[in-house]
Amino acid sequence: MTGDPPIDHEAFKQFERDGFSKVAQGYNGAIAQVTSQVNQAILDGVEARAGMRLLDVACGTGWLSADAVKRGAIVTGLDYTENMLVIARSRCPEAEFRVGDAENLPFESDEFEAVVCNFGILHFPEPEKAIAESLRVLKSRGRYAFTCWTPPAHNPFMSLILGTVQTYGTIDVDLPPAPPLFRFGDPDECKKTLNVKGFTSVSVTELLINWTFSKPEDVMPTIIASSARLGSMLSMQTGQQRHDIENAIIEGAKKYATNDGIEIPAYAVLTVGRKP
């Protein structure tokens, strides 16, 4: 978009890597339970089955890799944050986990029958490169599936966090300029991008995911302790802004009370394409 600051790809990558490195334990204890709600849909999308070679890009702490192993797939997980991989290796010793960059995959062409990427694409400075790399390492007729959150206007959880920051603080904090967070939460954009990159049979499905918390007071501390970009954005507000944001998030979260705690819906888009 005109007027947006240029993205320093290396600075953004470094920021994300440092962020995920710090929150790896927190991520595994909180967000991985959220993102893994779509694991079966992703594995269905790529028709995961016994004996298939499957690459899990930006695998984080390995929950999707572990579910792919349960289907009998021969799984390689790749992530550039070693602290995430330490947890992945203990969670799923049956898979091989490697440090590497999604935009420059350390694999030969035509190696995998499936490539999956759960909530990774929104963290890549040049997602087109990551998509092209996934296409390259896939065998002919292999499938690629990735997920991304839908924008706040259609996503109660994201709206609660980002809408509240916008109202009581600022989203314009001193973080490295980044690609649009919700670009691949737009089905048309997903279809167009995969088609341009050379995928066929592209389909896009919307999925419901629930963010659950024991009590409303847990929402903001959990995000700060487990998310790289959103957590930094919340931490970087002034004291007063942070206080106001926290109170507003608590009030907002109370609307989602259930008998078991707090359950805030969010939506994600699952995109699947096939290599010709």
Ligand X SMILES: C[S@@+](CC[C@H](N)C(=O)[O-])C[C@H]1O[C@@H](n2cnc3c(N)ncnc32)[C@H](O)[C@@H]1O
> Contact positions toward ligand X, by CB under 6 A?
13, 16, 20, 32, 35, 58-60, 63-64, 79-81, 84, 101-103, 118-120, 123-124
Task: Between 101 and 113, name the residue whose CB sits nearer to ligand X.
Answer: 101
Contacting residues for 259 by C-beta, under 8 A, at least 6 apart: none
Closest CB 118 distance from ligand X, rounded Å: 3
Residue number with the smallest Cβ distance to ligand X: 60
Closest CB 238 distance from ligand X, rounded Å: 27
Determine the Cα–Cα distance for residues 55 and 145; give it in Å rounded to an integer: 11
Task: Between 32 and 249, name the residue whose CB sits nearer to ligand X.
Answer: 32
Residue 262 CA, chain-centre distance (Å), reads: 22
Closest CB 228 distance from ligand X, rounded Å: 7
Task: Between 103 and 113, name the residue whose CB sits nearer to ligand X.
Answer: 103
Closest CB 36 distance from ligand X, rounded Å: 6
Q: Which two tokens stand for residue 264?
A: 């805030």
Closest CB 104 distance from ligand X, rounded Å: 8
Task: Between 59 and 138, name the residue whose CB sits nearer to ligand X.
Answer: 59
Closest CB 115 distance from ligand X, rounded Å: 12
Closest CB 163 distance from ligand X, rounded Å: 21
Task: Between 103 and 246, name the residue whose CB sits nearer to ligand X.
Answer: 103
Task: Between 102 and 248, name the residue whose CB sits nearer to ligand X.
Answer: 102
Classify each residue of 164-188 as buried b or exposed e, where b means 16 or more C-beta atoms within 10 Å of its C-beta: bbeebbeeeeebbebbebbebbbbe
Q: What is the DSSP track for 130-167?
A: HHHHHHHHEEEEEEEEEEEEPPGGG-HHHIIIIIHHHH
Under 8 Å between Cβ of 200 and 276: yes
Task: Between 102 and 135, name the residue whose CB sits nearer to ligand X.
Answer: 102
